[in-house]
Amino acid sequence: MSKTFNPWIVFVIAIPVLGARPAWADEPAADADQAIVDLYKSGKLFDKREYQAVRAAFARQFEQKHQSEIQSAYGEDAEQITAWLKKRPDIKENLYTALNEKYDKVEAALRLFKELWKQFPDQVDKYSNVAIATAVTWDDPRGVYNYRGHQLRTKSSLPTASTGATDNFKYLVDNDKAFQGRIQLLPWEFLVLLVDHRTPLDERKWSQSNYQSKRVMVGRCYKEVPYDHDLLNGNTPHLSGQVYTLENIRRYGGVCAHQADFAARVAKSLGIPAAFVGGQADTLGLHAWVMWVEFKQVTKTQIQFTLESFGRYLGDHYYTGELLDPQTGQKILDRDLERRLGVVGHDRVAKRQADLIMRAYSLISDQRKLNVTERVSYLDQCLRVSGHNEEAWLELAQLAKNGDLKPAHLPTVSFHLNNLFKTFAQYPDFVWKIFDDLLTVQPSVSEKARRYEQLVAMDEQAGRPDLACGARLKLAELQCEQKKWKTAANGLAFTIKKFPSEGRYVPRLMEKLQEVCANYKGGTDLLAQFYLDVLPTIPGKRGNKPSPYCIKMYEQAIAFFKENHKDKVVPALEAELARVKNGQRK
């Protein structure tokens, strides 16, 4: 079973031999900063038509700020590669603005780019985005997908050969024709998901031989890996003693992690951006699946695609999963990946310009001594360039959380709250991340409650009962603050009944309901009956095993009945709990 997400439509160590010092290295760094400030003062910083001027200013700032790293990385080739880049401003500026000092090891990345340029000058000229993707991924091993843990689990051995940064670049360039010419067209933000693995070249060729004709919905190859129940049950894995290759994984099998690893690396070997994803089900069980980019159309300016997944079984409600961001080496949500790729695919210029605007935020705020209102205006203008810019939203939320925003800023925050619901309607995880902080500006408890009612509705519409449950908890707290006990209880009960299988949230909702019902007459009796009504609706098993969630709920209910001296039903509940633990209840 596959799950389709919402489509977005329309280390190399070297001791350098220093070469000639480039002319730009003698220019004062303050001049580069001032050029960006001047762009802000003129309004060009926020003008999409001025993107090339903005990018050029930030590239020059990068050169000035990191001149020692650049000189060390380029070494004896500094003069030659500097001249080469000067003749190709698009490549130079895209490289220098793609590097992010928050996450990238600048010197290591530049050395990688230099080595690629030195070995493959013509290919780097034509496939500069692949070179950039390689540089920002392989500058730090943490960003490279590591499947050694899967190999250790199967008690197999890793192949003696593996693929490094340079071979990844060459493989993609050499096989672009087989990959439908898309490698040259894809921006580096997509390509990081292709250069981020060590799969040996012979295994990549095996993938081509076996799956080139199955490129459409390639992630379905997940199911071709036989499930190893012996491994799951703690017995000797079928792969034990074998070499951990893609071919052997398909032959001998594994558990979900090996199915996902296999599918992700087969897809990457076919030039299809993909990732190994892991998550937690509503029953609290862990699982792994594959996610990949299913291209619809790729041009120089736009990419139409869907982000697909396989092995993300709907019955277990894997609403989100985690994967490794190849550039940062940090874990991110799969839905964040979908959102970010969507922005790049639709309008990469706006996305990149907004990113640069936020890189200048501290510089301009400090130099221009921006007050809070001016900072809010800065963030507002950034969001008008690209409403999906995370840094701008997070900074606005931080200003609110810190108490820097005053009632005078309420209209602006309300405006952005409305936009938040529209812009991220299909990406509610990000809304959840900043919503509560933005709402701190609102002094009215009733208005806060109204906004949370909106959030509950949005999460339900987006098919995210996990987030809807979390929003319901927040809403109930606000209603309790207004002493609207019955209203809070009714809302909690409604959500529990609507999503009885949500094992990550229902126990907490029930705890809150228990707290609320204690505040009004007859509430405890109603809660007792509610427990008896809801418990039978909770699935007793996850797969063939007792559900930890169901067990937890029965234990919670038994504790409640004992605490409130309603002992008559306890034996029946304890008997049913025993049935659940013994796997006798479906």
**Closest Cα to residue 469, out of 508, 430, 433, 518?**
508
CATH class of segment(s) 357-521: mainly alpha
Choose the weakest-confidence range: 71-85, 273-287, 328-342, 370-384. 273-287
Residue 52 makes CB contacts below 8 A (sequence gap 6+) with none
CB atoms under 10 Å from CB of 525, counted, come to 12
Q: Tell me the percentage of the chain whose pLDDT exceeds 70.
A: 93
Task: Please report, to the nearest 10 degrees, the dihedral formed by the alpha carbons of residues 445, 448, 449, 451 taken in order.
Answer: 160
Task: Specify whether the CB–CB gap between 163 and 201 falls below 8 A.
Answer: yes
Tokens 């007859």 appear where?
Answer: 522
Residues of the chain with CATH 3.10.620: 143-160+176-329
Domain 143-160+176-329 belongs in CATH node 1.10.1060: no
Q: What is the pTM of this model?
A: 0.83
Whole-number Å distance between alpha carbons of 171 and 174: 5
The pLDDT score that the predictor gives to residue 317 is: 52
pLDDT digits (tens, 9 = 90+) for 104-122: 999 999 999 999 999 999 9
β pairing state of 331-333 and 274-280: unpaired
In the prediction, which pLDDT does 19 show? 39
CATH 1.25.40: which residues of the chain?
357-521
Chain segment 284-330, per-residue pLDDT in tens: 467 899 999 999 999 888 899 999 999 886 554 567 789 999 999 99
The rounded distance, in Å, linking the Cα atoms of 304 and 294 is: 9
Three-state DSSP class for residue 542: strand
What pLDDT, on the 0 to 100 scale, is given for residue 571? 94
State mean pLDDT over 89-105.
Answer: 96
- Which residue's structure tokens are 């203008």? 381
- Is the confidence at residue 150, as pLDDT, over 50? yes
Task: State in Å, rounded, how far the first CA of the chain is from the last one.
Answer: 22
Residue 344 has pLDDT above 90, yes or no: yes
